[in-house]
Amino acid sequence: MKNILITGGAGFIGSHVVRLFVTKYPSYNIINLDALTYAGNLENLKDIDQSPNYTFEKVNLLDVAGLSSVFERHNITDVIHLAAESHVDRSIESPLDFVHTNIVGTVNLLNIAKTKWGADFSKHLFYHISTDEVYGALGAEGLFTETTPYHPNSPYSASKAASDHFVRAYAETYHIRTIISNCSNNYGPFHFPEKLIPLFINNIIHKKPLPVYGDGLYTRDWLFVKDHATAIDVIFHNGKIDDTYNIGGFNEWKNIDLVKILCKLMDEKLGRQAGESEELITYVKDRPGHDRRYAIDATKLNKELGWAPSVTFEQGLAQTIDWYLENTTWLSNVTSGAYQNYYSSMYSNR
């Protein structure tokens, strides 16, 4: 019997992972632990939240007694750890929030797992979900592999790198069985509109300026979120213990090229004139310490575990746009209230 604790399950990627595990594995109990910060939203899970194998626990990673109680009450056998502060721009404004949740929170979880599983680690797995940003920035050539040295450049990526190091250290020192995966930029349904793609979709809908940082020639490697979830499934079940896997779809885009495609697709879907949304593009002040290029080499995952993305970028982007246009209530709920304050404080001085 598996009782799997998925942390951050009310967030963007976590909600897709929870949905996949709850529906695909009826014999597993899935316990979703989430503090419901601004990024956590139980609306993301309303289609599966009545499933008999699903439970939600509103607990903060900094609440050690709360974590311990969840482990105890649900007899947790495995952890898939996604909960984190995840937005680079916020990390530049408030680095300590990232130290607390991403580093201290991860160590709290590791400590509880060590204590509860200490008698016999062989039946348990601590799977830590991380990012390609820990590797730093690439030049024009090359890809991040699993052996690329860590070189984080933002408070966010530094906090994720630290959490990865703690996971590895707990495997080495205490023999907890761990796996780490480092994924490239995700996109898809339920993505909070502070990140590039959903923010620009929302702004195009409302004919608001599209704030492109710097020269717009920064490059990201985009993966459809449901493909990240299937990679997590494959790695959780078949990954080599104490190993790491890069996850990505060999799908690099310069920001400005991606934004232009988004504008074109949105004009078509909204019945607007060709070129109308492109006129909203506004070059603004750059992000400090902005990493020039990320690109993931996911060969190991493909060769060893047979995983590959299921959709092309064109298909994934079209599905994503359709989802946002069909879920305007979700979008207006998450962009009301505190989001307005965030938006004006983050963008008014650019």
Pick 230 or 255: Cβ nearer ligand DAU: 255
CA distances in angstroms from 73 to 55, 59, 69, 122, 173, listed in the order given: 12, 13, 6, 21, 27
Stretch that binds ligand DAU, among 55-63, 194-202, 327-335, 337-345 (CB under 6 A): 194-202
Provide the residue type at 8 as one letter: G
H or E element at residue 322? helix 313-326
Exposed, middle or buried by CB within 10 Å (0-12, 13-18, 19+), for 173?
Answer: exposed
Q: Which of 135, 166, 192, 294 binds ligand DAU (CB under 6 A)?
A: 294
Q: Single out the catalytic residue among 156, 170, 218, 343.
A: 156
Of 276, 270, 274, 264, the C-alpha closest to 314 is 264
Asked if 57 touches ligand DAU (CB under 6 A), the answer is: no
Residue 45 near ligand NAD by CB under 6 A: no
Question: What amino acid occupies position 133?
Answer: E
Among 48, 129, 205, 317, binds ligand NAD (CB under 6 A): 129
Catalytic annotation on 268?
no
Distance of closest approach, residue 121 Cβ to ligand DAU, in angstroms? 28
Q: Give yes or no for residue 85 binding ligand DAU (CB under 6 A).
A: no
* Residue 106 binds ligand DAU, judged by CB under 6 A: no
- Is 335 among the residues that bind ligand NAD (CB under 6 A)? no
Q: Is 135 part of the annotated catalytic residue set?
A: no
The site that binds ligand DAU (CB under 6 A) totals a number of residues, namely 19
Residues 261-290 that bind ligand DAU (CB under 6 A): 287
Between 97 and 276, CB nearer to ligand NAD: 97
Taking the C-alpha atoms of residue 122 and residue 118, their distance in angstroms, rounded to an integer, is 10
Q: Which of 105, 152, 189, 316 binds ligand NAD (CB under 6 A)?
A: 105
Strand intervals (E) in the chain: 3-7, 29-34, 54-58, 78-81, 125-131, 178-183, 185-187, 210-213, 219-224, 243-247, 252-254, 281-284
213 belongs to the binding site for ligand DAU (CB under 6 A): yes
9 SS3 class: coil
188 belongs to the binding site for ligand NAD (CB under 6 A): no
The strand pair at 252-254 and 219-224 is best described as antiparallel
When the beta carbons of 61 and 265 are compared against ligand NAD, the nearer one is: 61
Neighbour-count burial for 55-85, b at 16+ CB within 10 Å, e otherwise: bbbebbbeeeebbbebbeebebbbbbbbbbb
Binding segment for ligand DAU (CB under 6 A), chosen from 52-60, 129-137, 230-238, 326-334, is 129-137
- The residue (of 62 and 338) whose beta carbon lies closer to ligand NAD is 62
132 annotated active-site:
yes
| Residues of the shown chain interacting with ligand NAD in the complex, contacts defined by CB under 6 A | 8, 10-14, 34-37, 39-40, 60-62, 82-86, 101, 105, 129, 131, 160, 183, 185-186, 192
Q: Which residues are known to be catalytic?
A: 132-133, 156
